[in-house]
Structure 1
Amino acid sequence: MDPFILNRDAILQHKRLTFVGEEFVPIEKHLDSIENYINVCFVDEGIEVIQHGRVVALRSTDRNRLSSAFKAALYLGKYDDMDNKKRFLTKMMASSHSYEPIRGESILFLYIGVGKPVYDHLITHSVGRYTRIAGGQRANLPWGYEVPTEARNKQYFVDLNLPRIEEVIQTTKGLNEDTEREQIQAMRSSLPVGYIMPPYLLEFSEESLVHLFEKRIFEKGAQGATVDIVDDMWRCCISIDSEKWQYVYDYHGPHVKGWSQAMRKLRDKDYSVGELMDIGMEAGVLDIQVDGEYSLNDIKLYDLIMNTVGKPPKSMWEKTV
């Protein structure tokens, strides 16, 4: 297996990240060490490590999907082909049945160059989160500052917050001649909210990841920085097992919200097919006509429903913008 090479540019060159100087925290040295020991502890043990953006998937327990296949077969009493990898997807997930076969399967993620607000959002998903290894603020120095995605003037936020972070580090190390040395557990109260945390680990069960993806990227309203990181997690999952996680998207993706919206509107408004077609014409999503009449055979009913009554309402966050 080829050695894992950490994509440093995805971290150090990220447009919203500004790191403190090497004289404050030797970040390059730390990244070299992390890369080396990822290979020693995971790759050399035959584990494929995947990075996307600022997220590294270190380990997935459902290797080749055989563990969940065995569990699904036992659950359904199918003893002749217990290595059937599709059974959980086609017989259980597709029918919205039990997710027990993947509840005990997990993925361990390493986060590098991620701001504290994103960490706070991720740890709210506590059910099915088996591991949290985050360097405590009592002993670990911040790595820099992450500008919020909503910021209009990036440099303003950097100029406002990065000097404060560097001052905290200087005071903690006793490098500030004008201020008495202080312990980091005291100085941490002076850090801006968006400081970049040292690298940390979170391990989620695959069932909990389904719900995390629903809330943070499939549904609208999550904070932009959190969306970026959860999207990196999602892309790692796709790289690990594209078929499994495509099934997750098919049955939990953003379109599912539209389905629910469509069914409620059709029930509440009691629309006829003709009324739906009129709505589609008014909205500009239906323009197939022959001699001034609708060509029914050319109208895709699913597209008509989704483009007229299947659009989810704005989230509470979008309404406040």
Structure 2
Amino acid sequence: MNTSIIENNGVKTYQGDTFSITMTRYSDPQRLNLARNAARYLGKKDIENTRRPLGIVRQGHVPEIFRGEIVEFEFNDVSKEVYDHLVTYTTRNMRVAGGNRALTSDSYTLPSDKVKDPEMVKTWVENSMEGYRCLLDHAETPQVARAAMPIAAKLNTFVFQFNFLTLGQAVFKQRIWEKGAQGNTVKVVQGMWELVHSVDPDLWNTFYEWFGTPATEWTEVRRKLKKKEITVKEMFEKLQHEYFLNEEDTLNMTFEDYMKFQFGQVKSMW
């Protein structure tokens, strides 16, 4: 188990550097409900075959059965920036947030992305927080004061509930398995991944294999092969050249890994 995960009375909490996430519900930890629904979907009688849901992901069947299972997360000390990124997933099941209508933010999180001048960034974020607090101190309502609140401000505890399919196909894919997500969001979503992976590593490793970085790299391989219009003859000559040079690092790769090494490097769109 990841050392950042603390378990208390069966409830798991991921402790990040400036935040924490508690997994308050995980609907199918033994994968039994998924197994039953997978059997019904494929017309099978062995409804307790917990490997079948993994096969549905691997074989590219319609993964609708995963939409019926949910994970509920409680987020603590997470910034408005990250909240905004999570709330974009419209197929999430539930959102519970006190927000800044009646509650106020008392602290902030600095960006985790590449920063040229950390001290200047910190100064201006603190100035923004000071303006926000000034409005509160002068008897403005939280609704009014939040207009001056920086996006780096930490929100009060909020809860999101996501179904398995949204997590595997969208949240994890876009925020940690593909390049380009903002740093604080990556850290928080990585915590979500660690929590679900600690319950059912086989399931979430399968989602990673078929929706994550390996799948993204293979899509990039196809894109580059189509763009460059590489022929079989050209590929054969390239392999012959590496064979005669005795390039052991590449010759001992699986062909899938070799193709991803040659053509699968993915860059951030940002």
TM range (shorter): 0.7 to 0.9
Question: When the two structures are superposed, what TM-score results if normalisation uses the length of structure 2?
Answer: 0.85
Match of 2:165 in 1: 207
Alpha-carbon deviations, 1:63-119, whole Å to 9, x = none? 31111111111111222x2111111112x1111111122101000011111110110
Equivalent of 1:89 in 43, 54, 64: 54
Paired residues for 1:1-321 under 5 Å: 43=9, 47-53=10-16, 54-79=20-45, 81-90=46-55, 92-127=56-91, 129-150=92-113, 151-166=115-130, 168-169=132-133, 171-172=135-136, 174=137, 180-210=138-168, 211-272=170-231, 275-276=234-235, 289=244, 298=252, 300-312=254-266, 314-317=267-270
CA distance in 1, matches of 2:134, 2:146: 12
Quote the offset at 1:197 in angstroms. 0.7
Distance 1:147 1:266, change over 3 A: same
RCO greater where, 1 or 2, for CA within 8 Å and sep 6 or more? Answer: 2
Alpha-carbon deviations, 1:283-319, whole Å to 9, x = none? xxx9664xx567897564223322212223x2320xx
Question: When the two structures are superposed, what TM-score results if normalisation uses the length of structure 1?
Answer: 0.72
Distance 1:75 1:160, change over 3 A: same
Give the length in aligned residue pairs: 261
CA distance in 1, matches of 2:129, 2:68: 40
The amino acid that maps onto 2:83 is Y
Q: CA RMSD in A?
A: 2.9
Distance 1:121 1:68, change over 3 A: same
Distance 1:309 1:157, change over 3 A: closer
Q: Secondary structure at the match of 2:88?
A: coil
The amino acid that maps onto 1:105 is E
Question: Percent of aligned positions with the same letter in both sequences?
Answer: 30
Alpha-carbon deviations, 1:6-61, whole Å to 9, x = none? 96xxxxxxxxxxxxxxxxxxxxxxxxxxxxxx97xxx4xxx543425222211101
Q: Secondary structure at the match of 1:189?
A: helix
Q: Look at both structures and tell me which one has the larger radius of gyration over its CA atoms.
A: 1
Give structure 1 stretches of 5+ with no counterpart.
1-5, 8-37, 175-179
The amino acid that maps onto 1:143 is D
Quote the offset at 1:162 in angstroms. 2.7
CA distance in 2, matches of 1:113, 1:280: 52
